[in-house]
Chain A
Amino acid sequence: MNGKSVAAVEADSIARAFGARRAVDGVSLRVHAGETLALFGPNGAGKTTLLRLLGGLIRPTGGNASIGGQKVPGGPEMRRQIGVISHRTLLYDALTPRENVEFFARLYGVASPREAAVRSLEQMGIADRADAPVRSLSRGMKQRVSIARATVHNPKVVLADEPFTGLDVSGARALSRLLGDLRESGAALLLVTHNIDEGLSLATHAAIMHQGRLIRSGERASIVASEYANEYRDLVAAGE
C-alpha cells in the first residue's frame, strides 16, 4: 500500500462488469512484498471478483493490474508467483490429499514434489489423513488440504478468499502461522475475510470494499480494531 519499489500486487482503476452490474468499479491498490492487506466488505461488495481478477481467472473490463510487475492476466510466469485460496476447496474429491497437493506441486515445477506435498500437509496439520480420499474428509480438513495445495510452491503472492472457512481453532492457528511465515519470507498477502479481528491480527494494511469500490484503506498501525469493527458494522447495516 505504500509507494516504494515495484509492488507485488498492483491494481490501477481495475474494473469488472457482468452485463450492467459493475462488480468491481475502479479499484486501485498496491501490496508490497512482506505486506498483508486485509480486505473487508459485505456480501456482494466485489471482493471475490477482485481476487479472481488479480489471480488472472477473469479478465478486467477496465483498468489494469500486475503481479510482480507482470501484467494480469499473464502467462505461466505470472501465475507461478500466485497461490489462490478460495472458500471452495478447489480439490479433486476422488483423489487423496497427498495426490491433490503433489499434482499441483508438479504443475508448479516444485523440486521433489512428493516430499513437498507431505511437508505442506504437515504444516497444515493434516498429514495423518494424507492417504484418505478427500471426499471422506470434513469441510475443515478439506480447507486445510486446500491451503496446503495453494502454498506448496511457496508463492510470492497469496490471494486468500475467506481462507478460515470451516477451520477449527487449531486449523485457524496453523493457517495464521503459515501466512505469517509466508509474509516473513517476503510474500505479499491479500486476505479477504468477514472477521475483522482475524483479518486485522494478520494485516499490515486494511481496506473496506463496498459496491465494487474501496471506500477506506490505511495502515494497520493507524487502526483501532474496535472502532474499525463498529464502522464496518455500520456500513454493512447501512447497505441492507
Chain B
Amino acid sequence: MNSVIGDALLVAKKDLMIEFRTRSAFLSVVVFALLGIVIFYFAWDSTAVAASDLAPGVLWVIFTFSGLLGLHRSFGVEHAEGAIDGLLASPVSREAIFLGKAGANLVFVLAVQAIAIPAVSLFYNLPLGGVALPLAGIAILAAIGLVAVGTLFSAMAANTRLSELLLPMLSLPFFVPIVIPAAQATAKLLSGRPVVDALAWLKLLLAFDLVFVFACMLAYPFTLEE
C-alpha cells in the first residue's frame, strides 16, 4: 500500500523527468522571464524611479506571468495521449496527484526564480548580498501559493478548448493575495529595511499559502469530474 506522500513523490518525479527530457517549457519560460526583465529595463527611467522601488514590481510581474506559462504545461502532458485516464484509473489518490503535480511545478517555478532574481539584481544594480536569504524565503513562500492555485486551475483548464485563455483568467484573481504581500516584503528588503519590518507581510503570505494549499487540494478531485 502506497502512502499519499509516496505517490505524490512518484508523480512529481515523473513530471520532472518529462520536463528534464523535453526542456521545452523550462527554456521558453526562462527566455520569457529574461526578455521581460530586459524590456522593463529599457522602459525604466532611472531618474524618475529608484531601482529599489521598481525591482520588486518587475520581479513579481515576471514571476506571475512566467509561472502561468509554465503551469499551463502541467496537465498538458497528461492529456496528450490520454495518460490522465491511466493515472486516474490507478489506485493513486487524487490528493497525491495534486500534491505531486504541485511539487513538480514548485521545483519548476523555483528554478525559474533562481535565474530571474540574479538577473534582476544585475540589470537594476541591486546587490543581494545581505538580503539573498530572506529574499529566497519570500520567493519560496510565494511560489508555494502561486503553484497551488496554478496547479488547480491548470487541471480545470487543460480539458477545455480555451485553456490558454482560461488559466490566466481563473488564476490571476487568486494570485493577487499572494503577489501583494510578496511584492511588499520584497520592496522592504530591497530598500534596506530589516527583515523584521517585512514580517507582517510574510505572515500574511504564509497564511494564504496554507489556505490555498489545503483548499486547492480539497477542490482538485472535483476538477476531474466530467
Residues in A with CB closer than 8 Å to B18 are 92, 94-95
Q: How far is the CA of A92 from the CA of B13 in the complex (A)?
A: 13
Q: How far is the CB of A45 from chain B (nearest CB, A)?
A: 19
B residues with a Cβ closer than 8 A to A are: 1-2, 7, 10, 14, 17-18, 21-22, 77, 80-83, 85-93, 225-226
Residues in A with CB closer than 8 Å to B226 are 57-59
A residues with a Cβ closer than 8 A to B are: 52, 55-59, 75-77, 79-80, 82, 84, 86, 88-95, 99, 103-104, 106-109, 133, 149-150
Q: Which 9 A-B pairs have CB atoms at the shortest separation, nearest pair first?
A: A76-B91, A88-B82, A90-B86, A80-B91, A94-B21, A84-B89, A94-B18, A107-B90, A79-B91
Q: How far is the CA of A80 from the CA of B1 in the complex (A)?
A: 10
Q: B86 and A84: CB pair below 8 A?
A: yes
Residues in A with CB closer than 8 Å to B92 are 76, 107
Q: How far is the CB of A138 from chain B (nearest CB, A)?
A: 14
10 extra interchain contacts, Cβ-Cβ under 8 A, other than A58-B225, A58-B226, A90-B86?
Answer: A57-B89, A76-B93, A84-B85, A84-B86, A91-B81, A92-B14, A92-B81, A94-B77, A109-B2, A150-B86
Q: A104 and B21: CB pair below 8 A?
A: no
Q: A57 and B90: CB pair below 8 A?
A: no
Q: List 11 A-B contacts (CB under 8 A).
A: A84-B86, A84-B89, A88-B81, A90-B82, A90-B86, A94-B21, A95-B18, A95-B21, A103-B10, A106-B10, A107-B10
Q: B91 and A104: CB pair below 8 A?
A: no
Can you name the residue of chain A whose Cβ is closest to the Cβ of B89? A84
Q: How far is the CA of A82 from the CA of B89 in the complex (A)?
A: 8
Q: How far is the CA of A157 from the CA of B77 in the complex (A)?
A: 27
Can you name the residue of chain A whose Cβ is closest to the Cβ of B2? A109
Q: How far is the CB of B171 from chain A (nearest CB, A)?
A: 25
Can you name the residue of chain A whose Cβ is closest to the Cβ of B10? A106
Q: How far is the CB of B1 from chain A (nearest CB, A)?
A: 6
Can you name the residue of chain A whose Cβ is closest to the Cβ of B14? A103
Q: A90 and B85: CB pair below 8 A?
A: yes
User: Given the interface contacts A76-B91, A107-B2, does A93 sit within 8 Å of B81 by beta carbon?
Assistant: yes
Q: How far is the CA of A114 from the CA of B87 in the complex (A)?
A: 18
Residues in B with CB closer than 8 Å to A80 are 91
Residues in A with CB closer than 8 Å to B88 are 56-57
Can you name the residue of chain B whose Cβ is closest to the Cβ of A149? B86
Q: How far is the CA of A58 from the CA of B93 in the complex (A)?
A: 15
Residues in B with CB closer than 8 Å to A59 are 225-226
Q: B83 and A91: CB pair below 8 A?
A: yes
Q: How far is the CA of A57 from the CA of B221 in the complex (A)?
A: 12
Q: Which of B2, B7, B21, B87 has the most CB of A within 10 A?
A: B21
User: Given the interface contacts A90-B86, A95-B21, A103-B10, does A109 sit within 8 Å of B81 by beta carbon?
Assistant: no
Residues in A with CB closer than 8 Å to B17 are 94-95, 99
Q: Which of B10, B83, B87 has the most CB of A within 10 A?
A: B83
Q: B89 and A107: CB pair below 8 A?
A: no
Q: How far is the CB of B16 from chain A (nearest CB, A)?
A: 11
Q: B90 and A104: CB pair below 8 A?
A: yes
Q: How far is the CB of A5 from chain B (nearest CB, A)?
A: 24
Q: A89 and B90: CB pair below 8 A?
A: no
Residues in A with CB closer than 8 Å to B82 are 86, 88-90
Q: A77 and B83: CB pair below 8 A?
A: no
Q: How far is the CA of A113 from the CA of B161 in the complex (A)?
A: 37
- Tell which of B7, B77, B86, B91 touches A77, judged by Cβ atoms closer than 8 Å: B91
Can you name the residue of chain A whose Cβ is closest to the Cβ of B9? A106
